[in-house]
Amino acid sequence: MVSQSLVIAIDGPSGSGKSTTARLLADRLQLGYLDTGAMYRAVAWEYLNSGGTAGDADAIVVLTREADLRISTHPANPLVTINGHDVTTAIRDPRVSASVSVVATNPDVRRILTKKMREIIAAHHRRIVVEGRDITTVVAPDADVRILLVADPEARVARRAAELGHAVDRHAVTDQVIRRDRDDSTVSNFTDASEGVVVIDSTFQLPEEVVAQVLRLVDTLPADR
């Protein structure tokens, strides 16, 4: 078990393995786990559920600012609620996936949720694994270990299709993965590693192999950091 503060930040495109890697690391090192993408998805679900239209950016900002958004940081129990609704499963619905970029590309929404993410990191006494789009550069640029996890598009689409089940439209999944990456890249750079960020290609690696690489980076950290 790691006894001192340890923040691991993981960025990457859809299907690169961020969530699986982050949960495994959090469990292995007994750290908290924060899926920042789930926060954007929860806002998107609430907005759709309230009957909002995609083009009303101001309403999305107001909803985000006023929402009671809560997210579990236990790697084995990723509970997400918003305004009292348990949306843990609902936020993975294709309807939400198709709309979440409208939320995630709103600069004001990103500022509001980034503040909340930093509050969660602080509340965990900086003992947490955080994964998302701009964690290494915006949310936690001072993280102890910063990773950009990448994978070939075909591998990413295959993984996302496997997550959704066999009865999925492969073309729709491909559009969802590629289009969301394209949309989100307009406000977040998660394709190029900034200085100090280690790139790991997960295309031909098992999750445990990726985790092993990150653990080796943790082992190289100075004891007095």
CB 87 within 8 A of CB 168: no
What confidence score (pLDDT) does residue 14 get?
85
Mean pLDDT for the stretch of residues 218-222: 94
Which residues participate in the annotated binding site for ATP? 12-20
pLDDT tens string 149-161:
999 988 988 887 7
CB 97 within 8 A of CB 87: no
Predicted TM-score (pTM) of the model is: 0.89
**Domains of the chain, earliest start first:** 6-219 (3.40.50.300)
pLDDT tens string 160-193:
777 776 556 777 777 777 777 777 776 776 777 8
Alpha helices in the chain (DSSP H): 18-29, 36-49, 57-66, 94-104, 107-123, 153-164, 170-184, 207-219
Which residues participate in the annotated binding site? 12-20
Q: Is 15 left (phi over 0), alpha (psi -120 to 50) or beta?
A: left
Of 150, 144, 139, nearest in space to 190 by CA: 150
CB 83 within 8 A of CB 70: no
- Res. 1: pLDDT tops 50: no
Q: Which is higher by pLDDT, 166 or 101?
A: 101
Q: Which amino acid is at 146?
A: R
What confidence score (pLDDT) does residue 166 get?
59
